Amino acid sequence: MIDITLPELNINCWQQVGNKNIVKQLLEKELKSQFNFISSHRSHSVIESKGIEYCLSCNLESFPNDFEYVILTDKKATQQKLETNQIKFKSWIKHPKLKEYTNEEIIESWDNDFNYIEENIIKGTNGLREPQIAGLYSILSHLKIAESIGTVVMPTGTGKTETMLGTLVANKCNKLLITVPSDALRNQIANKFYKLGLLKQFGIVGEKSLFPKVGILFQNFSDANDLVDFIDNCNVLVTTMNLLANNSNENLLLFSEKFSNIFIDEAHHIEASSWKKVRDFFDDTKILQFTATPFRNDRKRLEGKVIFNFSLKKAQEQGYFKPINFIPIREYDFKKGDKLIAEKAIEKLQEDLNNGYNHILMARCENKTRAEEIFEIYKEYKDYNPVLIHSSVTGKKDILSSIINGEHRIIVAVNMLGEGFDLPQLKIAVFHDIRKSLPITLQFAGRFTRTSTDDELGNATFIANLADINTENELSELYAQDSDWNLLLSTLSSDEIQEQVDFNEFINGFQHLDNSKIPFQNIKFALSTVVYKNMSQDKSFNFSKFKNGFQNYDDLEYKFSDYNPNENTLVVITASKTEVEWVNYKEVFGLNWELTILYYNTDLNLLFIHSSDKSGFYSELANSILNDSAEMINQLNVFKSFYDVKRVSLQNVGLKEFLNRKIRFTMRVGTDIEEALSIAEQQRGQKAFVFGSGYEQGNKITLGCSYKGRIWSYLRSDLKGFISWCKNIGVKLIDDAIDPNQVLRQTLIPEIISEIPNIFPTHIDWDDNFYDYPESKISFRINNQEFGLSNCSINIINPNDQRKIEFEIKTPTSSVKYSKELFIDTNEDGSNFPNFKINKIDQVKSEIIIGNKTNDFTEYLNSNPPIIWFADGSALQGNEYVELKHIIQPYLTERLIAWDWTGIDLSKEAQGVNPFKIDSIQYRVIQRLLQDDFDIIYDDDYSGEIADVITIKETDREINIQFYHLKFAKDGNINTRVDNFYEVCGQAQKSIHWKHKRGTEFFEHLLRRKLKIRNGSDRSRLEKGTAQDLERLLTIAKNRKPMNFEIFIVQPSLSKQNVSESIMTLLGVTDNYLKEVGNINLKVIVSK
């Protein structure tokens, strides 16, 4: 017996000279079997297996006619040459199945020949997996009653391609078009359909079923007749979306007419301009989207109804994915981080190889420049033959082949080689640049964790630097240290997909979406509304009458409406003709498109109306819905919308002034707002509108209200977001307990001044926009040495100089000094105006770096002037001065906390580094705190500090954080000098901004500064706890547990038994600021 593999039987159904496109059909797969050598003749030899004789001839024209099976060989097939594998089988000359089949014959052969055999691993039964069977039933059901695009969500590795194959046969698709995002995937998918994957092998598709004719489109046709001929010869055509979109409209029309079904594979790549062009030519009911995630790479939702969603969590629970090991590192110097990641990855690769796992390591980089930089690290490991690959690398095709052949253990790549590149040995994924898109992350996870038929591959490993924390919010848990990444990946995916499902349920609640020219998924608009009360006794409403509220609705050029009865939401899209200015010709006109959204809340009995046309208030429309019982909410009541919005800052106020019988409209901004509010308060005018910003439920918002009734925001949202926004606004509007004037009474108005106020400046702080940037994105270059913001401070110097404000930027080793002066300047016309100037008062070269942009620091300060805060709570920015309008109450003496400072030199504030000053204030504070139950005690002293001492305690419900701001006693004695408190009160107020920063930034600051260095000595800043404890707290601070802050001032120069009014008033100002800005109570520690 001789082991022989006979070649597959196939036929080229279409091929044209000079054209790369091809249509081919597999008639019989290759046959591996044991054969008997029967005989050898002059022109041929004969072999036999299972009763069938095969004629082997090396001459295409010379063989006996009585054989049914004849194969062409490269040389005469003797027994000895067959046994030594010296014969090459070239092609079939004769075979019972060697004939051309019509498309109809192929489709007919599939009739009743699809078997739903389910895989049973215990019994060793090969078949369809649970997600494949469930997916097929969902797809077949959808195709019977399809009214829209269908989306099938199946994580990579659960058998998405076999599900597509099953759909072709089980549904007997007449002609199927498949689009893929890449050339590599085009060839892979075409080969799957050519062989029907594993369906024949597993008996899912029966023996009588023929293989489909599969066409591969490599280039577009210039001749439409050739395209028709090509398509007519296919059961299945595979191409890329870009190639398809590059067809002419005439050819695209041919595609849409000829194909009964279209499958979009890796659908998260679509929705670009190419897909939009193609989409217009195809009936939605023909389209199925297959994807591992219902999110496009640009984070926009895929169109269509999710008809099947097999969650990633289920895929992991059922064993389709193997567990993921996560090895995190944290290194804030990213260059060091790249080397550390590489070292960890190589350790893991060597460990896996030693354990017998045939693993390959891939290092993922954001772009070609980064990939080349990272490759320099890995190329030192020559034993693993590292290779670099990206889109423009020389010899890319050969490199891909060598990767597939297993010649490289380390691959440095951009974009993970793209979908469709399937190499199960890729088991160690190294993130030098963390992926920031959920769809790409899920694809990446799937590729590295898919279960292969080779069970010897072991588990996948991901390695990442968690200091690179600037990922999208929804990825925060995924990259959290010490977490079970396997579980979090599935949880994250399920949560996000549920959000998509919820949105789809809302959208699918509309009844006629398929008729809309504008996809509802893409509707995003700036939020605005007018609101009407339902004054009818029975609170009835009827959306079916809405047309009565539109002028000449039936005559509009385009009109579409759809109603969601579950959400009481009506969407109306209209287009009316508009004249074209440059021609008077009726056949040439423009279209004015308008969007109108109506939402009725049955709990509040309010009707909300949004329209892109802001010219009216839609009373006719409201009355058509509310049965002529609509009453608009307007005048003062609209200003209730500002209720519970914290730290309101009004940008402008529109004012109607009543001047005898005349009315004058003016708009006030900046310092003119105060006069406008005064006029309105004195009933000499009326607020026409106000617009401002603030914080609501921890989120920054913008909000505007018009006296006539319109409420708006700059926030853009989708339909579902609009409903949520309306609910929040509506609750306030009907609350009789809310005073609509309260927000205006609390507004602080700037005054333009030309002299420094005669009040002691307690501290200086950056402008508000400065804190919008992450601390890690800001640094200072002073005398060509760069310092991160975490190690720098801005401080007032020479505070007693009333003519100017002097301040410095202090770093661990240097400083740069500035002076700010106010003065009267002169315009070109000779008129005077107040002005200010910030000048550098030393020769130190200084620059500020924010992100990738470098600015001269003096220019930056004049464009973004810091805020100077004074002892009475007033503030000066530029030459705009703001005073508090309410009286500040002194800090209560009984609230002072008295400590015993025996043995402490009150003139010594800091404990230093090595050795400690054990008679210092800071040393005593830390020793006292060590006796309490804190998880972390941290010495944050010196430039860049948050506070001198920080404590952290995690509880079941929150993370409690305490800032201790310390100050030594001038003269070293207990006294009532108020100047002992100016600076420390300023430090307490400055530290409040950490409450409004992300929790991760707070812990990153501490980790970044964990080593305390002074005068050549260094030690850990952690008096209690470890860096690992900080990293653990960092991972749970965001999204899981709230962070609760307390602020302490420690100044032992004051005795609780002998306080002064000036000190207690200053403490009162600080307490008031902390309470209003951060809802934090100030605690003060003094002497007995």
Written in H, E and C, the secondary structure of 191-226 is HHHHHCCCCCCCCCECCCCCCCEEEECCCCCCCHHH
Q: What pLDDT score was predicted for residue 502? A: 66
Number of H helices, E strands in the chain: 25, 54
> Which comes out higher in pLDDT, residue 809 or 1034?
809
**Residue 406 identity (one-letter amino acid):** G
Q: What pLDDT score was predicted for residue 477? A: 42
Predicted confidence (pLDDT) per residue in 620-648, tens digit:
999 999 999 999 999 889 989 988 776 57
> Which comes out higher in pLDDT, residue 650 or 502?
650
The CATH number given to 893-1087 is 3.40.91
Please enumerate in sequence order all residues whose Cβ is within 8 A of that of 235, keeping only pairs 6 or more positions apart, or say none. 103, 106, 107, 168, 173, 175, 176, 212, 213, 214
Q: What pLDDT score was predicted for residue 820? A: 95
Q: What pLDDT score was predicted for residue 302? A: 76
Mean pLDDT value of segment 898-913: 95
Alpha-carbon distance of 895 to 408, in angstroms, equals 70
Is the model's pLDDT at 490 over the cut of 50? no
- pLDDT confidence bin for 319, thresholds 50/70/90: confident
Q: What pLDDT score was predicted for residue 673? A: 55
Mean pLDDT value of segment 354-378: 91
> Which comes out higher in pLDDT, residue 96 or 335?
96
Is the model's pLDDT at 470 over the cut of 50? no
Neighbours of 593 (CB within 10 A): 15
Alpha-carbon distance of 896 to 1084, in angstroms, equals 5
Least confident of 367-376, 455-464, 798-807, 830-839: 455-464
Please answer whether residues 416 and 393 qualify as being in contact, where contact means their C-beta atoms are separated by less than 8 angstroms.
no
Predicted confidence (pLDDT) per residue in 559-578, tens digit:
889 999 999 999 999 888 88
Please give the C-alpha separations between residue 577 and each of 38, 108, 613, in angstroms, as whole numbers. 85, 52, 15
* Residue (of 906, 962, 915, 911) closest to 941 by Cα position: 911
User: What pTM value is reported for the model?
Assistant: 0.56
Alpha-carbon distance of 991 to 940, in angstroms, equals 12
Least confident of 672-676, 960-964, 1001-1005: 672-676
Alpha-carbon distance of 917 to 1017, in angstroms, equals 14
Q: Do the strands 959-966 and 949-954 form a parallel or antiparallel pair, or are they unpaired?
A: antiparallel
Alpha-carbon distance of 348 to 379, in angstroms, equals 17
Least confident of 103-112, 293-302, 395-404, 835-844: 293-302
Mean pLDDT value of segment 578-597: 78
Least confident of 139-143, 335-339, 435-439, 721-725: 435-439
The angle, 0 to 180 degrees and rounded to 10, between the axes of the packed helices 999-1008 and 1027-1037 is 160
Mean pLDDT value of segment 72-89: 94
Please answer whether residues 744 and 677 qualify as being in contact, where contact means their C-beta atoms are separated by less than 8 angstroms.
yes
Alpha-carbon distance of 286 to 278, in angstroms, equals 13
Least confident of 58-62, 851-855, 1034-1038: 1034-1038
Arithmetic mean of pLDDT over the chain: 86
Residue in the block written with tokens 């969902």: 138
Cβ-based burial of 199 (10 A; exposed 0-12, middle 13-18, buried ≥19): buried
Q: What pLDDT score was predicted for residue 157? A: 76
Is the model's pLDDT at 373 over the cut of 60? yes
Q: What pLDDT score was predicted for residue 661? A: 46
**Residue 1071 identity (one-letter amino acid):** D
Neighbours of 661 (CB within 10 A): 5
Least confident of 163-167, 483-487, 578-582, 1006-1010: 483-487
Q: What pLDDT score was predicted for residue 1017? A: 86
pLDDT above 70: percentage of residues in the chain: 85
Q: What pLDDT score was predicted for residue 461? A: 83
Q: What pLDDT score was predicted for residue 912? A: 92
Q: What pLDDT score was predicted for residue 322? A: 66
Is the model's pLDDT at 442 over the cut of 50? no
Mean pLDDT value of segment 458-475: 62
- pLDDT confidence bin for 448, thresholds 50/70/90: low
Is the model's pLDDT at 57 over the cut of 50? yes
Per DSSP, 128 falls in state: B
**Residue 60 identity (one-letter amino acid):** L
**What's the topology of domain 319-492?**
Rossmann fold (3.40.50)
The beta-strand segments (E) located in 535-645 are 558-564, 569-578, 590-601, 606-611, 630-632
Alpha-carbon distance of 492 to 470, in angstroms, equals 17
The beta-strand segments (E) located in 612-742 are 630-632, 646-659, 662-669, 685-696, 699-706, 711-717
What is the largest distance, in Å, between two alpha-carbon atoms of the chain?
Answer: 125
Is the model's pLDDT at 491 over the cut of 50? no
Least confident of 275-289, 315-329, 906-920: 315-329
- pLDDT confidence bin for 89, thresholds 50/70/90: very high
Predicted confidence (pLDDT) per residue in 846-902, tens digit:
999 998 899 999 999 999 999 999 998 888 999 988 887 667 889 999 999 999 999
**What's the topology of domain 103-310?**
Rossmann fold (3.40.50)
**Residue 251 identity (one-letter amino acid):** N
Is the model's pLDDT at 479 over the cut of 50? no
Predicted confidence (pLDDT) per residue in 374-406, tens digit:
999 999 999 999 999 987 888 888 888 898 888
- Rounded to the nearest 10 degrees, how much is the dihedral formed by the CA atoms of 71, 72, 75, 79? 0
> Which comes out higher in pLDDT, residue 138 or 698?
138
Q: What pLDDT score was predicted for residue 454? A: 47
Q: Which 3 state secondary structure label does DSSP give 190?
A: helix
Strand partners, 178: 238, 263
Q: What pLDDT score was predicted for residue 425? A: 82
Cβ-based burial of 1011 (10 A; exposed 0-12, middle 13-18, buried ≥19): exposed
- Rg value, the chain, Cα: 37
Predicted confidence (pLDDT) per residue in 717-736, tens digit:
889 889 999 999 999 999 99
Is the model's pLDDT at 359 over the cut of 70? yes
Least confident of 215-224, 783-792, 804-813, 1011-1020: 1011-1020
Least confident of 279-288, 665-674, 773-782: 665-674
Is the model's pLDDT at 486 over the cut of 50? no
Is the model's pLDDT at 601 over the cut of 90? yes
Q: What pLDDT score was predicted for residue 317? A: 77
Mean pLDDT value of segment 766-794: 91
